[in-house]
Structure 1
């Protein structure tokens, strides 16, 4: 699978008492019994853990079993944390910013091609 690094960085937030965020600056929302999880673009002024997104250059297809596992499996085996936001066409796999280069190397060893990895940390 060909993956590329999404140019934006993201924040993953937990809003325990919210049913919807107060603003419309979100990328993805997941509502669960323990609250709302919000993924949003990371503003440059926010001091929080930043995540980078890996996204397939072609649709993974809902009928293609194992595609997500082929990405998160090698990362889990090497202790790289992930957060996944699934869409109708593909999955956005988030990895912590400080683990991006490691994740790209691990995925390439697993047979994926990863483009858009910055040369130096941000």
Structure 2
């Protein structure tokens, strides 16, 4: 039986992020990163935005219920509604869930879109 992926439990990841492209680099110079993707054209780095950063800031949504790699449609259930609402995304997948980043200035809109699509946004205690 295929699980219902239309109603994922998500939480907003605390913090602000930047997405960087480092051409011709195979590893970052520091360990202050959240996600790394190495490709032939260089390294993509997701890291917490330093206070002085002038780059575009992103905020993230992450699944509260681990799903592993064998459940189809989990990511599509999140990015599909966001794409239909013209909300840009950057995704970093983990073994258990997907980190879906959206531009910080569109975070509230993205939360509404995800809720309207049947996802449940939960607030984690501080």
What TM-score, normalized to structure 2? Answer: 0.88
Deviation of residue 46 (structure 1)?
Answer: 1.2
Deviation of residue 115 (structure 1)?
Answer: 3.1
Unmatched runs of 5 consecutive residues or more in structure 1: 117-122
1:1-122 alignment runs, 5 A limit: 1-116=8-123
Q: Give distance in 1, aligned partners of 2:70 and 2:40.
A: 29
What does residue 119 of structure 1 align with?
none
| CA-based RMSD | 0.9
Q: Give distance in 2, aligned partners of 1:88 and 1:46.
A: 29
Deviation of residue 44 (structure 1)?
Answer: 1.5
Q: Give distance in 2, aligned partners of 1:75 and 1:51.
A: 14
Unmatched runs of 5 consecutive residues or more in structure 2: 1-7
Runs of 4+ in structure 1 deviating by more than 4 angstroms, as ranges, are none
* Matched pairs, number: 116
Deviation of residue 47 (structure 1)?
Answer: 1.4
1:28-77, CA deviations, whole angstroms, 9 ceiling, x for partnerless residues? 11011111000001111211111101000111221110011000000011
Q: Give distance in 1, aligned partners of 2:80 and 2:67.
A: 16
What TM-score, normalized to structure 1? Answer: 0.91
